[in-house]
A = this chain, B = another copy of it.
């Protein structure tokens, strides 16, 4: 897929990075950036001088690809405003971290009006907003597509091609499988990092080394956005927290019993799993 016109709606860290990366990947494509907030237009215009940047919905008309950069809770209202400017050939996708609510809210609105597929780029930062966007954010990043049984093959193919053009490595998962696995690999780590920061407190901070720095980095991320993500996936997040607590009890028991063998085995099994992760 070589889109001739790309529109990015509500560009934050992810949408903004798509805009920057798409400018490099598709230098001849027309780029439209739509933002609800007038005050955010100037820096976007400065970073993307060739793009059409504004608050006008009609600029979106005729797009080959529309990327929804807003969080899940804002998507259905965004899509309702978008509907009059869609063609049936337009590929619409998003970047939200929890897919079941998006599929439930957004897919029915777009049914028969555009080609819809959910996307979740496993890329980000503790920083947020367009100011944190980077053209190389998706290089080697995993992009999860969540087609359903009714998603046509060309829609999957075109969405995958687009993300690959931005440097991503594309994986397809069913919506429920996505939400289950991502709760373990992203939402649980965030919940634990925040809880760890609170438990460690301020007193120990002057001693922090790279271990604390890395284990807690994500906890500096935007609280409201993460609260929405954790709540949106709360069934899976609660299930993974329960599994985590079971593991923690095992570790605490080994510590309390001064059981070096069990504790070493516990840590060794973790180290073996972690060492299977290739370097980025």
With A and B bound together, what is the CA distance between A280 and B263 in angstroms?
A: 32
CB of A56 to closest CB in B, whole Å: 32
Chain B nearest Cβ from A88, distance in angstroms: 32
Can you give 10 contacting A-B residue pairs, CB < 8 Å?
A185-B205, A189-B200, A192-B192, A201-B273, A215-B215, A219-B271, A221-B271, A223-B265, A223-B267, A230-B255
Q: How many chain A residues touch the partner (CB < 8 A)?
A: 87
Interface assignment of A80: CB less than 8 Å from any CB of chain B:
no
A interface majority secondary structure:
helix
Q: From residue 123 to 158 of chain A, which have CB atoms closer than 8 A to chain B?
A: 123-126, 141-142, 144
A190, A220, A222 — most chain B CB neighbours (10 Å): A220
Which B residues are CB-close (under 8 A) to A209? 122-124, 141-142, 185-186
A residues sitting closer than 8 Å to B (CB atoms) are 122-126, 141-142, 144, 171, 181-182, 184-186, 188-224, 226-228, 230-231, 234, 237-238, 240-241, 243-245, 247-248, 251-252, 255-256, 258, 260, 263-271, 273-277, 280
